[in-house]
Structure 1
Amino acid sequence: MLLSALVCGAVVFPGLFFSFKAGLRRFFPKWTDADVVSVSERLMSAVHGSLATAAGSIIVMSCKDVMNDNHWLVNTFVMFGVPYMTFDICAMYLSHFHIEKSRGQSRGHSLQTVRAFLHKDWLLVLHHATLLSVFLPITLFFRRGLGDFFIGCFFTTECSSPFVSIGQILIQLRLDDSRLHRLNGLAVLFTFFTCRILIFPFMYWTYGQQFGIPLYKVPFHLPLHCNLGNVVIMAPQIYWFILLVKKAKRLYLRRKKGTTKDEKEK
């Protein structure tokens, strides 16, 4: 089953990417290669995020015992997502390459182009590489079949990804000043805060409820490596959320300034 999931992922995600590319070229013939590749990568990311959220929700709702209950979707979806994490790095590089090419800053693939991509998107590349090199082996080999509930919770952290991708696509379509973009921005902030930050105290609270431990005492009942792992995962989520809040604040102030200017002109 795991090999089948791996093969399925290797077919689905590159297939989605190239299908989106073909469809966008057909419906938006005036778009540049940079526009087509960038939106295709974001649509593929949105699909993966939606599937991960659905899988995680099913697992979380199915596991009544947070430590011992098992669900077949855990290992299967991890293997299904391996090709996505690998191919998405390639797709992000292609997007970076075509954007730089459209600006006249790159004429072809080179080591310098790769370095520029890694410098610009190092955090996302590190995120994908960490999932492949750390999260994957821990989930498949070192958990001893324990904690499927918590793996399901980690899957649901992808809930904000579709909204982030939609926001980037709306900007690409020059709809960044639309009501839809503002509503999507609120959805990004809500889902990111709920599913990428509050999910950690939720996991601790659920564990405490099962074993009759107050929330503030739960960290002291867990092994040190579990707490450290959660801190390492949570830290970049807080950093990204702060960046999102700052971006939302800038957009709000810019819109407010524009509205005030229009009122004065009237």
Structure 2
Amino acid sequence: MLALVAAGSIVFPGLFLASRQTLKLLMGWSEGDAVVVSARLVSSLQAVMASSAGCIIASSCKDVMEDRHWLTDAYILFATPYFAYDIYAMFLCYWHKMQVKGHQEEGHGGSMRAAVLGYLRREVLMVLHHVFMVAFCFPASLLWRQGKGDYFQGVLFLAELSTPSVCLGKVLIQYNKQHTLLHKVNGVMMMITFFSCRVLLFPYLYYAYSRYASIPLYMVPLVAPWQCNLGAALLWPLQIYWFTLICRGALRQSRRHSNAPPEILKDNNLIDRH
């Protein structure tokens, strides 16, 4: 158990550092550009791993409550440190963006404190989401479900399918490629995967259990463990909110014919990820 947590604590920061150094040394990129792209790259890699694990688990569990797969608990343990790492990686991205915009002054004693406070104000929903994943979802997934429902846990991993397109969109905006065909195609993919794998995710989980238990859908919240209901009540509205921002930004972009930067990923600094 501890070995998997330790592995995740090494792998994700290690990939970030290796990518940052590679981009700086081999590509000649600046520190800020290397940090931002490396953070997106690690988020995308984690998403690919989580989605792959989810596909394997969900397809292997015929009985949605009783069937077990070893990868379920293993990936939970391995991936949990990612959310702690990502809070710091997002702060580094914010720090370098503020330096580029001239919001940080070299040698100013309060610059770091101001940056941390500004980051927490701007990314409060994302930070709270990541803290919730570690503080609540980790024990709920690993301990409180008592070895049941590996299928549902595998489906939850599939929420990460939308992360690579979100990360790619941010990188394209960073390099002013928002008017390219790739950005437009990626935007469509982002909307489809985000809606399918995040917005529809929680209703599907309740629907799947209603079929398993042969009870009406409206009865599922009454018989589901309180941890499941609490997690869904806190996470589902957040996904809906972020999806509305994506749609609002896409609508703005479709109405614009100037060179102004699109808002599809700028409203409230939409996710990441994870």
TM-score between both structures, scaled by the size of structure 1: 0.89
More moved, 218-227 vs 85-94: 218-227
Residue 92 (structure 1) aligned to one of 80, 83, 90 = 90
Match of 2:65 in 1: 67
Other structure's SS at 1:54 match = helix
Per-residue deviation, 1:27: 4.6
Q: Aligned partners of 1:178, 1:68: CA distance in 2, in Å?
A: 48
Matches within 5 A, 1:137-176: 137-176=139-178
Distance 1:186 1:154, change over 3 A: same
> How big is each residue's C-alpha offset from its partner over 1:225-252, in whole Å with a ceiling of 9 and x where there is no partner?
5334312210100000000001111111
Amino acid at match of 1:150: F
Opposite residue 179 of structure 1, the aligned amino acid is L
Distance of 2:163 and 2:85 partners within structure 1? 16
Q: Which amino acid aligns with 1:130?
A: F
User: Is 1:36 aligned with 2:34?
Assistant: yes
> Are the aligned partners of 2:140 and 2:227 in contact in 1 as well (CA < 8 Å)?
no
- Taking only aligned residues, the RMSD between alpha carbons, in angstroms, comes to 1.8
Tell me the residue number matched to 1:262. Answer: none
1:56 aligns with 2:58: no
Q: How many residues align?
A: 255
1:100, CA displacement in angstroms?
Answer: 1.3
Give the alignment of 1:92-241 within 5 angstroms: 92-106=90-104, 107=106, 110-223=112-225, 225-241=227-243
CA deviations on 1:29-49 (whole Å, 9 max, x unpaired) are 2x4322211111111111111
Unpaired segments ≥5 residues, structure 1: 259-266
Question: Larger helix proportion, structure 1 or 2?
Answer: 1
Residues 15-71 of structure 1, C-alpha deviations (whole Å, 9 max, x = no match): 211121122223542x43222111111111111111111111111111111122211
Task: Give the structure 1 partner of residue 262 of structure 2.
Answer: none
Q: How does 1:2-21 map to 2 (within 5 A)?
A: 2-21=1-20
- Unpaired runs of at least 5, structure 2: 260-274
- CA distance, structure 2, for counterparts of residue 228 and residue 92 of structure 1: 26
Q: Distance in 2 between matches of 1:221 and 1:136?
A: 22
Aligned-residue identity in percent: 40
Runs of 4+ in 1 over 4 A off after TM superposition: none
Task: Supply the distance in 2 between the matched residues of 1:87 and 1:228 (Cα, whole angstroms).
Answer: 25
Alpha-carbon distance in structure 1 between the residues aligned to 2:230 and 2:75? 25
Distance 1:165 1:65 in 2: 34
CA distance in 2 between counterparts of 1:192 and 1:89 reads: 21
How far the C-alpha of 1:7 sits from its partner, in A, is 2.1
C-alpha contact (below 8 Å) 2:57/2:154 kept by paired residues = yes
Q: How many Å apart are 1:140 and its aligned residue?
A: 1.9
Answer with 43-52 or 98-107: which moved more: 98-107
TM-score (norm 2): 0.87
C-alpha distance in structure 2 between counterparts of 1:131 and 1:148, whole Å: 17
Larger Rg: 1
Between 1:125-134 and 1:135-144, the stretch displaced more is: 135-144
